[in-house]
Amino acid sequence: MTQPTLFEGVFPAITTPFQADGTVDHDFLSEHARWMMRAGSRGIVPLGSLGEGNTLEEAEKTAVLRTLVSALGSAPVIPGIGSLSTAGAVRLAQAAQDAGCQGLMVLPPYVYTSDWREMKAHMAAVISATDLPVILYNNPIAYRTDFQPAHILELAQEHANVRAVKESSADVRRVTALAATLPAHVELMVGVDDLLLEGVAAGATGWIAGLVNAYPAESVQLFNLARGGQLKEAADLYRWFLPLLRLDTGIKFVQLIKQVQAEVGRGSAQVRAPRLPLTPDEVREVQGLVAQASARQPALV
Residue 62 one-letter amino acid:
T
Pick from 163, 242, 136: nearest CA to 197:
242
Is 137 among the catalytic positions? yes
Options 137, 143, 215, 238, the catalytic residue: 137
Pick from 56, 57, 43: nearest CA to 11:
43
Which residues lie closer than 8 Å to 183 by C-beta, 6 or more apart? 153, 156, 157
Give the number of other Cβ atoms within 10 Å of residue 157's Cβ. 11
Spatial contact of 228 and 4, defined as CB atoms under 8 Å apart: no
Give CA separation, 79 vs 47, 185, 275, in Å. Answer: 6, 20, 21
CA distance between the termini of the chain:
19
Whether residue 274 is preceded by a cis peptide bond, meaning omega within 30 degrees of 0, is yes
CA 126 – CA 94 distance, rounded (Å): 9
Helix (H, G, I), strand (E, B) or coil at 157: helix
Which residues lie closer than 8 Å to 34 by C-beta, 6 or more apart? 71, 72
Options 61, 110, 143, 166, the catalytic residue: 166
Query: Pairing mode, if any, of strands 134-138 and 162-167?
Result: parallel
Is 215 among the catalytic positions? no
Alpha helices in the chain (DSSP H): 26-38, 58-72, 86-99, 116-127, 140-143, 149-158, 172-181, 196-202, 216-227, 231-245, 253-263, 280-295
Q: Which residues are catalytic?
A: 137, 166
